[in-house]
Amino acid sequence: MSDCLFCKIAKKEIPSEVVYEDESFFAFKDINPQAPVHVLVIPKEHFATVNDLEDTNLAGGLVIKAKEIAKKLGVDQKGYRFVLNCLADAGQEVFHVHGHLLAGRKFTWPPG
Ligand code: 5GP
Ligand code: ZN
């Protein structure tokens, strides 16, 4: 989608600190990190919200990529959180599906 921030980041039209890339997925550091590790994992294909995801391989792939990135960053054994914010009540601000991989500190539950 031409006017989508994360599509532009995935195409490297806008710079980011790239953590991982393959044919279908892209991961980069969040510009405003909420934890020592805060990586955004996105499908390269544009979907506005989780509500628009139909492809099981793509949805599942997002979680598998998060797991692999957590391992690559050395946080897989200590623990991490993988968060998908969908629409207004969840605080979604960028309308291209993205999972927040957060790690490197202790998180509280329930989330605020
Ligand atoms: P949301 O609230 O939509 O789930 O999360 C959007 C996330 O994107 C936020 O954590 C925000 O800091 C991050 N973000 C917004 N604009 C940019 C940007 O231009 N570059 C990067 N790397 N992250 C961004
Ligand atoms: Zn997009």
98 is catalytic: yes
Residue 111 lies in a domain: no
85 close to ligand 1 (CB < 6 Angstrom):
yes
Residue 41 lies in a domain: yes
Residue 108 lies in a domain: no
Instruction: Report the run of H or E that residue 88 belongs to, with start and end.
Output: helix 87-90
Q: State the pTM of this model.
A: 0.98
- Measure Cα distances from 100 to 2, 21, 45, 63, 67 in Å: 23, 16, 17, 10, 12
68 close to ligand 1 (CB < 6 Angstrom):
no
Residue 79 lies in a domain: yes
Q: What are residue 60's phi and psi, to 5 degrees?
A: -65, -35
**C-alpha 45 to ligand 2 mean position (Å):** 7
Residue 42 lies in a domain: yes
Q: What is the domain-level CATH number for residue 46?
A: 3.30.428.10
CB atoms within 10 A of CB 75: 19
Residue 15 lies in a domain: yes
Instruction: State the residue range of the domain holding 60.
Output: 5-103
Residue 29 lies in a domain: yes
How many domains does the chain divide into? Answer: 1
Q: What is the pLDDT of residues 61-92, one digit of tens each?
A: 999 999 999 999 999 999 999 999 999 999 99
**Number of the ligand 1 atom closest to the C-alpha atom of 93:** 3
28 close to ligand 1 (CB < 6 Angstrom):
yes
Flag residues of the chain having pLDDT under 70: none
